[in-house]
Chains A and B, each alone.
Chain A
């Protein structure tokens, strides 16, 4: 058994002791091993490592230490600091990633631009507009970035086909006081950055038109509005609820080519 092996074995058996105490005991043993003649049989001179460690404990009055505090004190302070720092950084990174993954600052800004001839429902909790083939169609909402960071607005993405053909348009950011008037001038939509506090309008403009593949039933609800946006590496769709529900209804007897009214 080499002095290094002996030292390592004794060190292993003192693993529960506070780090600096263990270091001092092993340093003294190291110094002692270095004093012994090179050909010394360590086991016969010092006893087996486990016996050495046991005798050392007995003579020094060092009980075996257990528990969390002993475990922590047995670690080298530098390693302990490193471990805590690593865990802290990892926790922060996870926290930031989770936060980014859930960051959604877009909200309804309070104004909608409803299609012409929109009527309130008898119950008063929703609005509806009757489909009229070929007539002009216009529907817009205002959205606001209520967060503290800029997001990029990528468009409106209704999951189903609606009975109109419309282009998505956008307005330049407007102050809240101007929201009651229909915004203008409008430009063809292109992805844009919506800065904190800014309000922008998204307008669908076109004509009522039927498409094959429209869903079953005779009513299409436009609320909530699914707005696609991106923030850093993440792209998501958020559903922006309006203050009241808005639906396009089909009059009795309306025939949609290829559809299922």
Chain B
């Protein structure tokens, strides 16, 4: 399976996890994801995910002036976003554990 395909499924979780570390904006989220190894995910997918999470109420945003160029949209995680992240991480942990046990056998 392509890495990109695999990553897409956990992108929502990854984005929530990045923002849960502190208020941040699109470009910074992308850079953090890339450094963490999520380099097969397109920029558009990240921005689309941000849009969807915000619409679902898991993120909130505010516009703030930046030193260079137009205002940045800063995202932070809402309480429902935090719950979503917790539930998603738990599920992911179980799947990951099950997969590891399968591979070890």
Interface residues of A (CB under 8 A from B): 24-25, 27-32, 34-36, 45-47, 51-62
B48–A56 contact, CB under 8 A?
A: yes
What B residues does A54 contact at CB under 8 A?
44
Contacts of A30 in B (CB 8 A): 69-70
Report yes or no: A25 in contact with B51, Cβ–Cβ below 8 A: yes
- Tell me whether A59 and B45 are in contact (CB under 8 A): yes
Whether the Cβ atoms of B47 and A47 lie closer than 8 Å is no
The total of Cβ contacts below 8 Å across the A-B interface reads 78
Q: Do A56 and B69 touch (CB < 8 A)?
A: no
Q: Are A55 and B72 in contact (CB under 8 A)?
A: no
Kindly state whether residue B93 has any CB partner on chain A within 8 Å: no
B66 close to A (CB within 8 Å): yes
Q: Which residues of B contact A36 (CB under 8 A)?
A: 27
Question: What's the least CB distance linking B92 to chain A, in Å?
Answer: 19
Which residues on B sit within 8 Å (CB–CB) of A53? 44
Having A27-B70, A59-B46, one finds 11 other A-B pairs with CB under 8 Å, namely A25-B47, A28-B50, A31-B70, A34-B68, A45-B43, A53-B44, A55-B48, A56-B51, A59-B11, A60-B52, A61-B55
Q: Which of B1-54 contact A (CB under 8 A)?
A: 11, 25-27, 30, 42-52
Give the Cβ gap from B58 to chain A, nearest Cβ, in Å: 13
**B side interface size, CB within 8 A:** 24
Minimum CB distance partner of B11 in chain A:
A59
* Measured CA separation A89–B40 after assembly (Å): 55
- Tell me the dominant secondary structure on chain A's binding face: helix
Cβ-neighbour of A47 out of B42, B49, B69 (below 8 A): B42
A32 touches B49 (CB 8 A): no
CB pair B73 A57 closer than 8 Å: no
Whether A31 lies near B66 (C-beta < 8 A) is yes
Q: A32 contacts B48, CB within 8 Å?
A: no
Contacts of A24 in B (CB 8 A): 73
Query: Do residues B43 and A31 form an inter-chain contact, with CB atoms below 8 A?
Result: no
CA distance A36 to B43 in the complex (A): 12
Inter-chain CA distance A154–B13, complex, in Å, is 86
Chain A residues in 8 Å Cβ range of B95: none
Q: What residues on A are CB-neighbors of B46 within 8 Å?
A: 59
